[in-house]
Structure 1
C-alpha cells in the first residue's frame, strides 16, 4: 500500500458545456489517465502567449539596450533569449505529456522522494515572489487610474480602501480562473488574449509614433559581450523563470501530439509577444535614454497622449492578471508536491493568502522594496536553473514514469533510492548552484563570466554535465527504473 498524495479522489462524471467549464478541477498531482490527456499544442500556444502580452514587458527591452546595443542587436538578444528559454519550457512540457503529472511531482523520479523537497521549496518561493510582485504592481496600476481620473495623486496610504479593494479584486479574479482549473484557464487565456492583446497593440502603436527614428538609425552597435548579456537578461527573466511550470500545463497534452510541436507551441506562444515587447522597449530606450525602467507605470504614460493613459493601465492590469493565473495554478500544484493533504483549489487559495500578506507588507511597511525583492527572486534563478539542467538530462533516458511511485513517499517507492535521495542528481544540483553563486564572491565578481551576466549559464552547464557524466536517469531506455 502506498502513501498517496492529496487530490487522488475519483472525478465525477464529465459534465458538458458551461457546467463542465465551471466545474472545479479536483485533479491534484496524481498522474492523469490517458483518457484525460486530450489537449493539443495550440492550447499551450495561447496559454503562453497570454502570459507574456503584458505591456510591462517594455522595460525588458530597455534593460537589454542599457545604452550599449542598437535596435537590431537588442532584437537579436530578445529573440534568442525569449524563444530559446521558452523552448526549454516546451521541452519540460514533454515530461508532463509522458508522465501526466506536474513538473515538481515528476522531479521526484529525478531527485528521490525526499531529495525533491529542495527543488520544490525553491520553486514555491520563486513563484510566491513573482505573484507578490504581480499583485503589488497591479495595485499601483489601479491607483494610477484613480490618479488620472481624480487629478489627485493616490498612494496606498491615502487611498487605503482603493488599495485593499484592488488587491482583493486581483486575487479574486486569479482564484476564479486558477482555482476552477485547467480547462477554464486555457479558455480564459485564449479569449483574454484577443481582447487585451488588441488593446496592447493599440498602446504600442501610440508609443512607436513617439520614437526618435533618427536616433535609432544612428545608434552604434555594441560589443558581442553586451549581446550575450542581453540574451542572458531576457532568458533569466522569461523562460527560465517559467521552466518548472512546463509539465504542469503539458500534462494535459495528447500522446499523439509530437514533442516538436509542444516545443514550438511554447517557444512561439511566448516568443511572439516577448520579441515585440523587447523590440518596442529597445526603441524607447534608444530614442529616450532617460526612460525609467524601474517605474514603467509612470514613465510609459509620459510617451502617450493623456487620454491613452487609462487604456495603458488597464492593459497593464490585465497582462499582470494573465501571468498571475498561470503562476498561481502552477504553484498550487507545486505546494501539493510538498505533501500537503488538501484539495487543489485549497492549495490555490493558500497561495493567494500568501500573496495577500506579501502585498500588504510591501505596500504598507516598505517605501522601496522592489530592488531587494527582485534581487531575492533573481538569486532563486540560480537553483532553478540548476534544476532545469538536471531534469533535462534525466529526460534523455526516462521516457515513462511509475505513477504509484510518484505518489509514494515511503521507502517502498521506486524513487526512494538511498535514504529517499538520488544522490547523483542531488550532488549535480548542489554543485551547479555553487558554481553559479561562486561568481558573487570577491575575485570572481569582476570576471568575464560575471560581467557578461553568464553565471546562470555556468550553472546550467555544470549541473547538466555532472548528472550526464554520472549516468543520468537510473532506468533503461524507454522503460522506467
Structure 2
C-alpha cells in the first residue's frame, strides 16, 4: 500500500496488476485541478479579440476544443490501464525503442515549455503578492534577488509534490480542487461584476473558419498538450476499470473548469481587448478586480499554476527516463525542475519579452504531438496488450525491435504528417493544420498495416500433462 509521504520508487517499468487499485474518479480530480489555472482566461479572451467570436461560439469552441481533446486524453488513459506504463514508454511498442526517440523528445520539450510558462507566471504572481504585502517592487529586474526567491519557492513547492509521486498527487489534486476552486469562484464573481454585458450581447458572431481555428487553438493549448501524459496517471488504474468511465472522467474533469474559465475570459474581452493583448495576464486580470480582492486572486492564481505544474513535472520525469536516461525517477524530476528554473530566470531577468514568442513556440510543438497521437490511437484500435518486458528492452532481439529499433511505418507516417502540418501552418492555415496532421498520420499508419508486433496477449502454453 502506497502512503502519501512515501516517495514513489517506480520509474517507467510497468505496474504489476496486483498493485493497480485506482478508479476513474481519481482522474476527474487530477485533470480538474490541473486546469483551474488563470491561463484559461487569456485563452478565452483571444477567441473574442483575435478570432472575432461571440460568447456562444466561444463556449461551443471551449466545449469541443477542451472537452473533446481531453476525451482523447481519456482514450490514451485506456492504454495506461492495459499496459501499466507511462504514455511514451508504451509508445515504444508502436515506434520501436529507437524510433520512439523523436516523439519522446518533442513530448519532453513541450512539457518543459509549459513548465517554464507556469513557473515564470507563478513567480510573477508571487512578486505581485510580495508587492502588496511588503510594499516591494513587482518589477523582476528591479528586485532580482526577490525574483530568484519567487522562482525558487514555486519550484520547491513543485518538487515536493512531483518528487513524492503518484499517490501524493492523487490526494493533493483532490483536496486542492475544493480549496482553490472556491477561491476561483470568488474571483470569478468579482470579475463578472466588471463585465460590459451590452457589449457582450452586441458582439457579432465569427465565421465557420474562425470557429474551426478557435477549436484548434483551444485543443492545442489544452488536451493535445496533455495527451502524451494520459497514461502516466492511469497506469495504476484497475484493469477492470471501464474505458468509457476513464474517458468521461478525463473529459469532464478538465472540460468543466476550462469551459467556465474560457467563457469568463470571452465575456471580459467583449469591448475591451486588454486581457487578450497583455504581456502580463496576471497583472491585467488583477487590474480588473477591486483592491480588496487582489490578495485572494493572487493566492488562487498561484495555487492553480502549481497544481498544473507539479503534474507536468511528474510526467516530464517519466518522459526523461523513457529517453534512456538511467537515473531514479525522483532525480529525473529534479533535473526537469533545474531546467525550468534556469529558463524562468532567463525570461524574467534577461529576455525582453516572454509570453507571445514562447507560447507560439509551444504551439508549434502541437503539430508533432498531434501526429504522434494519431499514430498511437490508430495502433490502439487493435492493440489489447503490451509486453512489459519488451517495453523496457532497448537492445536487439526484443519483441518491439522491428527493423534496427524502428517501426518505419509508424515513424514514416509521423514524419509525413509533421511535414504536412508545418506546410499548412506556413501557409497560414493554422485552423486545419492540426486536423490534416492527425488525418495524414492515422491514415498513413493504418494504410501501411500498423505495427508488426503481437497486438494480443499470447495464449498460455498448455502442458503435455494437461493435454492428457
TM (norm. structure 2) is: 0.95
Stretch moving more, 462-471 or 65-74 = 65-74
- Name the structure 1 match of 2:76: 92
Is this contact kept in 1: 2:184–2:300, CA < 8 A? yes
Q: What is aligned with 1:46? A: 29
CA distance in 2, matches of 1:463, 1:145: 46
Post-superposition Cα deviations, 1:31-90, rounded to whole Å, max 9, x if no partner, equal 110111110001000000000011231111111122611111110011110010001100
Aligned pairs for 1:74-473 (under 5 A) are: 74-151=58-135, 153-294=137-278, 295-441=280-426, 445-446=427-428, 450=429, 453-473=431-451
SS in 1 for 2:132: helix
The count of aligned residue pairs is: 457
Closer, same or farther in 2 for the Cα pair 1:480/1:92, shift >3 Å?
farther
Cα distance in 2 for residues equivalent to 1:274 and 1:288: 21
The CA distance in 1 between the partners of 2:80 and 2:395, in whole Å, is 23
- Residue 402 (structure 1) shift: 0.6
What is the deviation of 1:359? 1.2
Provide, for residues 307-329 of structure 1, a one-character-per-residue CA deviation record: whole Å limited to 9, x for no partner: 11111111111111000011000
Deviations along 1:341-380, one digit per CA (max 9) or x if unpaired, are 1111111111111111111122222121332222221111
Q: CA deviation at 1:289?
A: 3.3
**Could you tell me which residue of structure 1 aligns to residue 16 of structure 2?**
33
2:237 alignment partner, SS class: coil
1:399 offset after TM fit, Å?
0.9
- The CA distance in 1 between the partners of 2:264 and 2:12, in whole Å, is 39
- The residue number in structure 2 matching 1:11 is none
Alpha-carbon offset, residue 477 of structure 1: 5.6
Name stretches of at least 5 consecutive residues in structure 2 with no aligned partner: 460-468
Instruction: Give the match for residue 10 of structure 1.
Output: none
Output the CA distance in 1 between the equivalents of 2:86 and 2:154: 25
Q: Residue 402 and residue 45 in structure 1: after superposition, are their counterparts in 2 closer, same or farther (change >3 A)?
A: same
Distance 1:462 1:480, change over 3 A: farther
Uncovered stretches (5+) of structure 1, i.e. residues with no partner: 1-13
**CA distance in structure 1 between the aligned counterparts of 2:275 and 2:115, rounded to whole angstroms:** 25
Judged with a 3 Å threshold, the aligned counterparts in structure 2 of structure 1 residues 105 and 131 are, in CA distance, closer, same or farther, namely: same
CA distance in structure 2 between the partners assigned to 1:314 and 1:386 by the alignment? 37
Q: Return the alpha-carbon distance in structure 2 between the equivalents of residues 375 and 231 of structure 1.
A: 16
1:210-261: CA deviation from partner (whole Å, max 9, x where unpaired):
1111111222222111111111111010000000000101111111110000
Whole-Å separation in 1 of the counterparts to 2:7 and 2:345: 28
Is 466-475 or 121-130 further displaced after alignment? 466-475
**TM-superposed deviation, 1:176:** 1.0
Distance 2:224 2:66 in 1: 9
| Root mean square deviation of aligned Cα | 1.5
Give how far 1:98 is off: 0.3
CA distance in 2, matches of 1:333, 1:119: 14
The whole-number CA distance in structure 2 between the counterparts of 1:376 and 1:55 is 20
Cα 1:304–1:402 shift into 2, 3 Å: same
SS in 1 for 2:12: coil
Task: Give, in whole Å, the separation in 1 of the partners of 2:100 and 2:214.
Answer: 32
Task: Report the alpha carbon displacement of residue 147 of structure 1 after superposing the two structures with TM.
Answer: 2.5
Instruction: State the alpha-carbon separation in 2 of the partners of residues 210 and 121 from structure 1.
Output: 44
Q: Say if 2:8 and 2:166, in contact at 8 Å, map to a contact too.
A: yes
Mapped to 2, the partners of 1:367 and 1:475 lie a distance apart of: 50
Distance across 1 between alignment mates of 2:454 and 2:136: 67
149-158 or 169-178: bigger deviation:
149-158
Q: After superposition, give the CA deviation of every residue in 1:84-113 in whole Å (9 maximum; x if it has no partner).
A: 000110000100000000000000000001
C-alpha contact (below 8 Å) 1:333/1:344 kept by paired residues: yes
- Partner of 1:376, secondary structure, is helix
- How far residue 287 of structure 1 moved from its aligned partner, in angstroms, is 4.1
CA distance in 2, matches of 1:188, 1:291: 30
SS of 1:250 mapped into structure 2: coil
